[in-house]
Structure 1
Amino acid sequence: SQFATLRDEALNDILDQAWILGEAEEQGVEASDREVEEEFQTTREQNFKTDKEYQDFLKQSCFTQEDVDERVRLQVISTKIQEDITADAGEVSEDDARKFYEANEEQFAQPETRNIRIVLNEDPEKAQQAADQLEQDNSPESWKQVAAEFSTDASSKDAGGVRESITEGVFPEAVNAQIFDAPEGEVVGPIETDAGTYVIQVDSINEATTTPFDEARTQIDEQLAGQVQQEQFSAFLSDYRDRWVELTICADDFVIERCDNFAGATQPCPDPS
């Protein structure tokens, strides 16, 4: 029922506060008034453009400023607890970093790409006209004029047809094959596809590269440290729930899964009347 849903939401909210404050007391974690105020100001600036918007929010949500401050305090405390838990993740050793690099080298690879120029037009005859003009003069100036006149490719028609760092599979198969087979500086086309007719030219070839280990080290350290922190926090959450469930005894009419005396289905609600 709606009442049961509202009841469970309220109970979960109460238990969230009780558990977090209890954990904070055990760990000696506190949030100063200054920290709460700074976090509140940051949150308000991120979510409300004006003070009026914030005041409207308070009215609509039936929150008082004290309610908001208490929620912010819980957030500050939660963040501190998480930071304390993951603070000893430790530095990533060079051996671990290098093993990760060697096992995931494809993650640090950049594929071969092409810098190209294109003309695209749905009308094969217009594409042929573009190709004819470019066969006579394929200078950057000519490409600029031809692309502006004949191309319908919005991203390049006003830039001399230039498309940079093109990887395999970006264009239709027939065009893609020509992009990665054609020599530099040669006008190729027209090439008819379902998307229209293309004229292309490869301006330059960017060979495939792999970021060296030394350059990738910072990224690797951050990734591995993040994994360790996530594992530590997940382990903490599991233990945290188990410990606080054992300490939580709920009144018979208000038993939910987070109560140690929970025995299956949510208990029936008392008559709100």
Structure 2
Amino acid sequence: MIDFASVSLESDEIVDFLKREIKLKEVCQNILYQKLIYQAAEERGITVSAEEIQAEADKQRHGMRLEKAADTLAWLNEQKMTPDDWEAGIRDRLLAEKLAESLFSEQVEKFFAQNRLEFDQVLLYQIILDDEKLAQEVFYELEEREISFYQAAHLYDINEGRRHQCGFEGKLYRWNLKPNIAAVVFGSPLGKAIGPIQTEAGYHILMVEEFIPADLTPQRYQEIRDKMFQEWLANELTYMLHNQAS
């Protein structure tokens, strides 16, 4: 194992590497985002306490099974960080979390209510064929129960991966599907073959196993809030850069 803690790198080497990997812009952008977060949090009186930082550090240590202080110090040394570096990173993440909650907590439920249909999900199976006549024949066999959907997918689908999964596409949002397919899928009865529907990909035969109505779960709440926060950061950065250029 390489002891990275013993390796010394100059700042110019790091910058040159980021340039070559086309990652310097992303890093600079994230640094500017952090400055915007500091500024906005200060304006709103949002702070992170030492107790909150300690609680998050303990949570991370537990997750990485760093139960002893010596284990934690060894891990930090491997990451080329000091305890102060680690705590500063935790503070930044908690501050961003608090700011996002302050800015958008009241907007998430409204956004979800207005776009509820887009968060409906479906457990979907699909067969795609490249021949219209074959697609019609397979659909007829399914209608007449001469073959199961899973058998047909395993035999006829043009995609090897989907054949191995007997047509299982997984849990999909309405917006994961093309509008014309979504309209048919979300209006169909369970377990019934749908199609064939032609797209540029071929001729689709589909089957719904389960409809999953939209629910504002904690995970979905955070996804919506974080998306709003990222859009806000991007807009604030654009505004800041525009003002500096003026």
Give TM-score, length-normalised by structure 2: 0.47
Which is richer in helix? 2
- Asked which structure has the greater CA Rg, the reply is 1
- TM-score with structure 1 length normalisation? 0.43
